[in-house]
Amino acid sequence: MLEVSAIWTAQVQQQNYRALLDAISHPGWVKSILHQAGSPASTAVLATLLDAEVSLADPEGLLEAADWPLLQASTAAPEEADYILCMGSKAAQFQPRLGSLPSPEQSATLIICVDSLHEGELKISLEGPGVNGNADCAIAGLHPDWLSQREDWVCGYPLGVDLLLVDDSAVLALPRTTRVEVV
């Protein structure tokens, strides 16, 4: 646990960025996120990635009001946003940006808060770039509809979305290239 406000420092953001880079390079890896006591790890993830150049949608109002000015990001509807903060227990009610064929990066990154990335009722097996063979994960607090919605969003590769699943202290990434099977 860190002092309040440490997630806004350059040093912690560099370390959290590397955790995110590791996570997205190795789908299935659960990487620890340095975060404030009493504040969700998702806020630390946002603090690492966002600034005034990008927009954030928070349809469930998960982010503390005091954190908005620190993030500097503009607000946007989920259909328009660069980043979307979501609640894993509730299926998505929106259609995120998927990018375009010439510019697939102009797509949304979803930060989905779940209960646990270490154990849970949802057992999945991953395959694809970054995964050596396959990787098994167990997640708690992710509504099963997320995975089928994700299927719809990523089926037109290179268009798609990238998911960052975050529990209270760690992150697991599902980039658009990962093939997910429920086991």
* Site residues (vs another protein, CB under 8 A): 10-11, 13-15, 17-18, 20-21, 24-26, 48-54, 100-105, 109, 129-132, 157-158, 162, 175-177
Amino acid at 80: E
SS3 152: helix
Residue found under tokens 């607090």: 141
**Closest approach of another protein to the CB of residue 113, in Å:** 18
Give yes or no for a contact between 162 and 98, defined as CB atoms under 8 angstroms apart: no
**Closest approach of another protein to the CB of residue 114, in Å:** 19
Quote the CA–CA distance of 45 and 169 in Å, as a whole number.
Answer: 10
**Closest approach of another protein to the CB of residue 130, in Å:** 5
Quote the CA–CA distance of 87 and 22 in Å, as a whole number.
Answer: 23
76 token code pair: 């946007």
Q: Between residues 108 and 139, which has the closer beta carbon with respect to another protein? A: 108
Give the burial string for 131-143 (b: 16+ CB within 10 Å, else e): beeebebebbbbb
Q: Between residues 112 and 116, which has the closer beta carbon with respect to another protein? A: 112
Q: Between residues 66 and 105, which has the closer beta carbon with respect to another protein? A: 105
Q: Between residues 143 and 176, which has the closer beta carbon with respect to another protein? A: 176
Q: Between residues 14 and 148, which has the closer beta carbon with respect to another protein? A: 14
Burial of 113 (0-12, 13-18, 19+ CB in 10 A): buried
Quote the CA–CA distance of 174 and 27 in Å, as a whole number.
Answer: 6
